[in-house]
Amino acid sequence: MKYVDEFRDGALAQGLARAIAQAVKPGRVYRFMEFCGGHTHAIARYGVPDLLPANVHLIHGPGCPVCVLPIGRIDQAIRLALAEKVILCTYADTLRVPASGGMTLLRARARGADVRMVYAVSDALAIARANPTREVVFFAIGFETTTPPTAVAIRTAAAEGLANFSVLCCHVLTPPAILSILDAPAVRGLGGVRLDGFIGPAHVSTVIGSRPYEYFAEEYRKPVVIAGFEPLDVMQAILMLVRQVNAGRAEVENEFTRAVTRDGNTKAQALVAEVFELRKTFEWRGLGTVPYSALKIRAAYAQFDAEQRFALSYTPVADNKACECGAILRGVRRPTDCKLFGTVCTPDTPMGSCMVSSEGACAAHYTYGRHQDITVVA
Amino acid sequence: MSSQIKPGYARPLDLKQGRVELAHGGGGRAMVQLVAELFARHLGNDLLAQGNDGAVLPEPGGRLVVATDSHVVSPLFFPGGDIGCLAVHGTVNDVAVMGGEPRYIAAGFILEEGFPLADLARIVASMAAAARRAGVKLVAGDTKVVERGKGDGVFITTTGVGVLPPGLALSGDCARPGDVVFLSGPIGEHGMAILSVRENLGFDAPILSDTAPLNGLTAAMLASGAHLRLMRDPTRGGLAATLNEIAQQSGVGIHIDETAIPIRPAVAAGCELLGLDPLNLANEGRLVAVCAPEDADRLLAAMRTHPLGAEAALIGEVVADKQRFVQMRTRFGGRRMVDWLAGEQLPRIC
């Protein structure tokens, strides 16, 4: 595959592995958080840790849209599907996230709810056009990458007068989540987790640009290297981070220059700003309530806001007590630190959200990396 | 004055405009007519012509292997095939990878009221062509009709019967550390062909399903004299599921090499676009074989002489591993697990 295989080249990977091995100082440990689930997935799928020196640790961050959805939001979607009998459209992994009382959207479907998996929000619009007598709700999740298409869909629905279409908006923002991690006591030294830098988001950064990360580099003295989602991108970013740490620098560097600029996609930003505004506060799974960390639909488009149309109230629901998803999403714990991991919680029967999506830290480790946890007797 | 009545006359089935009606499954004349004018016309042979409740088969001359498979694929017609040929290949292949020589199949049809007879005729003709290609006879069949909305056009269940050569004992629990693992051709084509025609997922370049009968290939492999431990066709769940099944059953680990696994660029690109792992995509004309290491060259040569094995490759080896893990050396140089698919990647693929 042209323009893809080049970024997965084994020989180049070996070269980068050697460069990283030469760059690291033997006496110190480097702890980098990859914020995005896309990176988590790539790291696990291509076996990147096998190519890293033992003193370079990768810590999974909260950038998996499905993982950070709190139970209360899934409950809202299930209520819409079961009680309000809407056609509920959403992206695939969302269907499997556990909600209250052992329910998931998939189980709601088995009980008669009309829940449909879509690949794009435009599919949900098409379903609304084809079913004018039914209410169609798009359960919108994701970071800044998936937000512009939702904005376009709402504008399209307004322009067409598509009265049966609405959006349950659970779009969240990357910078406040990073801030929340940096401000968490655990990261500041009280709980023992230290971060030496961030591998910055790929697709999110194409939209928001590299500028928003400058604050973290300056204020928190944390180097950020924005990296693409291919394994060579990740390796290159690690090398750049190691060099920054060694030199005592804390800057925003851009490894993903083929797609990311400092200002990002200003057209997309304008679209998002026209349709959405900041929520004062939003509950995240793992991070708790984070101020100004999510979007809601502006009053001008209120008729397309499912929360208003169906007068939905939000009830927070606590995670299973034994589930460590919260600590794992903050980078404080690793998947294998959780008692449920690989026992009652597996990708087939997930208890926590990190085990649901292939971008989740637990699912990625279970699916691709659990051979590392066990000494194989040959 | 003579009567206008023509004794025994029935208006022929309207194979252009006609549709399946409840009467076609009702046990009356309409059903007899459907069987005669549509099914028997395409699939008829001496054994089916016996016309009894069951077919009496000749003495087989060996141990029998029986396999059954239900087919519910959506859409019914897809690039490279349709539910008709798929229903024959699915069962023929299950018999073939057991080492059996497939001889007979029986087919049960569940038809939905309102289904176009023209489409049914296409499906049955495709089954007949597939059966001829595979050298099997359809010897028993059944047709039921369900009310409109209670089915999805056509569901077909087939059962295959084959004869095993004397002494042959292929089984999923026979893989041993040191054995080598072969794959007969590029992976993921059936799964990607189905995906490509599903709603809103059109690709410009058509990817054809690999659906094909494997009994010619398996016969060539058996004739090579190589010490085969087992063969299996990686259908639903893909190569990943099949390797995990073998590891579980045999109590071993399997190590494969990503660079050795054949895959067409279009399938790889489709997976990239849709975020799918080709190791999880279904195949309908591929097989995995495990053989003793000393016979590796002989088996590979035999596979490559057959058109369906032209791109056969040695993809890995069996290792001792109490955990029964399947692991893969990635193209990138790292190592990762190859796990079963969690949940469902694609609905209704075969």
Tell the burial category of B47 from Cβ atoms under 10 Å away from its Cβ (0-12, 13-18, 19+).
middle
Residue B74 to residue B169: CA distance in whole angstroms: 35
Burial class (CB in 10 A: 0-12, 13-18, 19+), B184: buried
Q: B247-281 in b/e burial notation, b at 16+ Cβ within 10 A?
A: bebbebbbbbbbeebebbebbbbbbeeeebbbbbb
Give the tokens for residue B40: 């028997």
* Nearest by Cα to B168 from B72, B99, B238, B121: B99
Position B11 scores a pLDDT of: 86
Find the closest chain A residue to B340 by CA distance. Answer: A367
pLDDT digits (tens, 9 = 90+) for B288-334: 999 999 999 999 999 999 999 999 999 999 999 999 999 999 999 99
In what helix (H) or strand (E) does residue B154 lie, and over which residues does it extend? strand B154-163
Which two structure tokens, joined as six digits, stand for B14? 């309207």
Is the ipTM reported for this complex over the cut 0.85?
Answer: no
Q: What pLDDT band is residue B204 in, cutting at 50, 70 and 90? A: low
**Which band of pLDDT confidence, cut at 50, 70 and 90, is reported for residue B347?**
low
Report phi then psi at B20, rounded to 5. Answer: -65, 130
**pLDDT value at B345 more than 80:** no
Using the 8-state DSSP alphabet, how is residue B260 labeled? G
How far does the CA of residue A378 sit from the closest CA of chain B (Å)? 5
SS3 B328: strand
Is A60:A361 a contact under the CB 8 Å cutoff? Answer: yes
Residues of chain B neighbouring A65 (CB-CB closer than 8 A): none
Which of A8, A47, A367 lies closest to B339 in CB terms?
A367
Q: Are A8 and A232 in contact (CB under 8 A)?
A: yes
User: Torsions phi, psi of A7, nearest 5?
Assistant: -90, 10
pLDDT at B348: 78
Q: How many CB atoms lie within 10 A of CB A296?
A: 18
Distance from CA of A350 to the nearest CA of B (A): 10
Q: Look at residue B4 and tell me whether its pLDDT is greater than 60.
A: yes
What is the gyration radius of the CA atoms in chain B, in angstroms? Answer: 22
Q: Name which of A9, A50, A145 to mutate to probe chain B: the one with the most chain B Cβ atoms within 10 A of its Cβ.
A: A50
Q: Which of A2, A9, A41, A45 is the best residue to mutate to test the B interface, defined by the most B CB atoms within 10 Å of its own CB?
A: A45
Q: What is the mean pLDDT of chain B?
A: 93
**Residues of chain B found within 8 Å of residue A126, distances taken between Cβ atoms:** 200
Chain A residues touching residue B342 (CB < 8 angstroms): 346-348, 363, 367
Taking residue A316's Cβ as centre, other Cβ atoms within 10 Å add up to 12
- Look up tokens 């928001």; give the residue: A208
Q: Do A8 and B332 touch (CB under 8 A)?
A: yes
What backbone torsions phi and psi does residue B54 show, to the nearest 5 degrees? -145, 155
Question: Closest to A47 (Cβ–Cβ): which among B201, B325, B330?
Answer: B330
In this complex, do A123 and B200 lie within 8 Å of one another by their Cβ atoms?
yes
From the CA of A93, how many Å to the nearest CA of chain B?
Answer: 10
Looking at residue B346, its pLDDT comes to 64
Considering only the beta carbons, identify the residue of B265, B321, B335 that sits closest to A50. B335
CB contact under 8 A, A46 and B336: yes
Q: Tokens for A241?
A: 């981070």
Which tokens is A192 given?
A: 């023992």
Q: Residue A346 is which amino acid?
A: T
In this predicted structure, what is the pLDDT of residue A285? Answer: 87
pLDDT, residue A377, reads 42
Predicted pLDDT at A187: 56
| Cβ contacts of B343 on chain A, cutoff 8 Å | 96, 347-348
Summarize pLDDT for B48-91 with one digit per residue, the tens.
Answer: 888 888 999 999 999 999 999 999 999 999 999 999 999 999 99
- Chain A CB contacts of B325 under 8 Å are 370-371, 376
Nearest-CB residue to A44 (from B321, B333, B336):
B336
Domains and CATH numbers, chain B: 22-163 (3.30.1330.10), 180-337 (3.90.650.10)
Amino acid at B280: N
Q: Which of A1, A367, A369 sits opposite B272 (nearest CB)?
A: A1
Beta strands B154-163 and B101-112 are antiparallel
**Gap from B77 CA to chain A (nearest CA, Å):** 22
- How close B186 gets to chain A, by Cα (Å)? 15
Q: Residue B240: what pLDDT?
A: 97
The pLDDT of residue B200 is above 70: no
How much of chain B, in percent, has pLDDT values that exceed 70?
Answer: 96
Tell me the average confidence (pLDDT) per consecutive run of 10 residues in chain A, 378 residues long: 81 95 95 93 92 94 90 97 97 88 93 93 96 98 96 98 98 93 67 80 95 93 95 96 97 94 96 97 91 97 97 92 87 90 90 86 91 62
Distance from CA of B189 to the nearest CA of A (A): 16
- Domains identified in chain A and CATH numbers: 5-66+183-254 (3.40.50.11750), 71-173+267-309 (3.40.50.11740), 325-373 (no CATH)
Q: Are B262 and B185 in contact (CB under 8 A)?
A: yes
Q: Select from B200, B333, B335 the Cβ nearest to the Cβ of A10.
A: B333
Residue among A269, A98, A92 nearest A173 (CA): A269
The full 3-state SS of B180-206, as one line of letters, equals EEEECCCCCHHHHHHHHHCCCCCCCCC
Is pLDDT of B203 > 80? no
